[in-house]
A and B are shown apart, each in its own frame.
Chain A
Amino acid sequence: MHYINKLAYYLVIILIILSINFFLPRAMPGDPLAYVLGENPDMPIRMTEEEREMKLAEYGLDKPLPEQYVDYMIKLSKGDLGHSIYYKNPVMDEILIRLKWTLLLTGTATVIYMPLGIFLGAESAWARGKKKDTLSLITILTVSSFPSFVLGTLFVIFFAFKLGLFPLGCANTIGATYANPLEEALDILHHLILPVATLIIAHIGGTYLLMRNSMLSVIGADYILSARAKGLSERYILNRHAIRNALLPIVTMAALTIGFMTVGTIFVEKVFAYPGIGLLLYDSVLRRDYPLIQGIFLFISIFVVLANFIADMAYVWLDPRVSDE
């Protein structure tokens, strides 16, 4: 029951996202054709009325809106996100070749910052009021108030340029030939460290605070006292009783953070010239490559919605109370 409801809900969300995507260029001021053909500030496109009509027809923009909508949906169902103006390639292809880098970046960062934030938050709450708690609280709040691009830029200047410890950007050494896969992996890692560190620092605060708050309310709960009354050790109580309960709000949050992450990567990828989807979005925005912008928006949104869906399911799995409803 629960699953079906949720599924329906998410399908509606996806439908809405698709519709936003459809109506966005059509609702904006300006020539819709410009959103398909792109613009060239130096040399504006020259077109006679006739050519215009032809182009409109070619892109199906002359049809009535509902018909366009149906066409759009049919195309989408075939995985066709349209053609990039700049790359003259299917939007999907352009996204897919960059996907691995973004996944590597966000994946690595998430795998580190989530458990770390959870761990630090839990520890901090468990030591509430003590020096350890205060110190980590202030440190994390302070550090994470730096926007990722400020932090990233400073990292580039210090660690990459001044100290020369890391490369200035990119995902690997361009044009390098590797003796073995390990060497390649190390090279990729070398390029990954600064951007990942930036993402972690920029995103850890949210998780940390949430976990800390969540944990604080768990600590006061009677079942923790009850667990102590059973003679269980503090570590055991923390691990077995407290964390799972405290994790519940985190799980809901996790999906949201994945949404933030995808945005965070735009900044980090720009600062570190990391060739992922975020940078693609940035470049497309600069080039006003509207089909590509829309495609990326759609892709990220659906990705985030899926993440939400998974988080919802995980929530059910974590909290037996929900599954019964």
Chain B
Amino acid sequence: MTGVKVNNVLGSLGLGILAILITVAIFAPQIAPYDPHDTYKWMERPSSEHLLGTNDVGNDILSEVIYGTRVSLFIAFTVSITAIIIGTALGLIAGYSSGVLGFLIMRIVDIFLTIPRMVLIIVLAAFLTQSIWNLIVIFIIFGWMMTARIVRSEVLTLRSQYYVDSAKMLGGSDRYIIWRHILPNVVPLVVVQFIMEASHVIIAEAGISFLGLGDPVARSWGTIFNYAFEYPNIILSDAWMWWMLPPGLCIAATVLGLTFVGYALEERLNPKLKTVVGMEA
């Protein structure tokens, strides 16, 4: 049963990483040694004063990265929570009422899933003003489909379960059935989906920002990385070590944390892997 152990280790590791990052995000003003907009001597090497040195305009990189956590996580969580809620609602509708509406929703989902969404996001971002709100809206628009599809197929399975029929038979209204019988069974899936979506958004946002389409004012890790990447002397000087690596590692760590947690959750929720042994009398 090493699988279970590994699973627990990965899960806790992931949770640990996320906990740290979330703490950093929340307490950024307390943790960060400086205001990320304050300027000091530019391109300082790491020192006791500036643990990660300063960037090309003299901002303290450590503080920038700490505040970047805020931006990145804020985008990721805002988008994934909203997208998940929308996706779950639409998935429920599509799955529960197999009418025209459901059919329509699923067609839209199929179509959206077929169109390469990141390319469309890049194209849209190119057309729109660079702001984190625009990004958030775009990500939400393209973020709910997978959830809707997964929730719908789960609802379809649940709907054919006898206990749903039973509830109907016992006099439960549709709303009652959805709230009491369908939704609670969908929630675990949705949680996993939330985690997956959050990690998608982290990567996608970092990517968009790396392309210089992020919000340059509210600097996320991707934007910090982009600035470092665009710095002409980045490869020749050693600055990549303290300017490029930290935001890069933060992105990777967040994704990793989310992946681990998502993986552990999925393993735990996957009924295939859970064998109930023996029945208690």
Q: A residues bordering B, Cβ < 8 Å? A: 9, 12-13, 16-17, 20, 24-25, 28, 35, 128-130, 134, 137-138, 141-142, 145-147, 149-150, 153-154, 156-157, 161, 209, 216-217, 220, 255-256, 259-260, 262-263, 266-267, 270-271, 281-282, 284-286, 288, 290, 293-294, 296-297, 300-301, 304-305, 308
Measured CA separation A18–B94 after assembly (Å): 26
B123 touches A294 (CB 8 A): yes
Determine whether B229 belongs to the interface, using a CB cutoff of 8 Å to chain A.
yes
Cβ contacts under 8 Å, A282 to chain B: 211
**A149 and B116 in contact, given A138-B10, A297-B123 (Cβ under 8 angstroms):** no
In chain B, positions 219-266 with a C-beta closer than 8 Å to chain A are: 225, 229, 235, 240, 244-245, 248, 251-253, 255-256, 259-260, 263
Cβ contacts under 8 Å, B256 to chain A: 141-142, 145
Cβ contacts under 8 Å, B123 to chain A: 24, 293-294, 297
In chain B, positions 197-214 with a C-beta closer than 8 Å to chain A are: 199, 203, 206-207, 210-213
Interface residues on B, range: 35 or more
A156 touches B252 (CB 8 A): no
Measured CA separation A290–B127 after assembly (Å): 8
Determine whether B269 belongs to the interface, using a CB cutoff of 8 Å to chain A.
no
Cβ contacts under 8 Å, A285 to chain B: 122, 125-126, 211-213
User: Can you name 13 A-B pairs with beta carbons within 8 Å?
Assistant: A12-B111, A24-B127, A129-B3, A145-B253, A153-B240, A153-B244, A157-B240, A259-B114, A259-B116, A296-B119, A300-B116, A301-B119, A304-B114
Measured CA separation A30–B6 after assembly (Å): 54
> B16: shortest Cβ distance to chain A, in Å?
15
Beyond the given A146-B248, A149-B207, please list 13 additional residue pairs across the A-B interface where CB-CB is below 8 A.
A24-B124, A35-B127, A129-B1, A141-B259, A145-B199, A149-B225, A150-B252, A154-B248, A157-B240, A161-B235, A217-B272, A263-B118, A281-B119
> A290: shortest Cβ distance to chain B, in Å?
7
Measured CA separation A209–B25 after assembly (Å): 30
Q: B residues bordering A, Cβ < 8 Å? A: 1-3, 6, 10, 110-111, 113-120, 122-128, 199, 203, 206-207, 210-213, 225, 229, 235, 240, 244-245, 248, 251-253, 255-256, 259-260, 263, 272-273
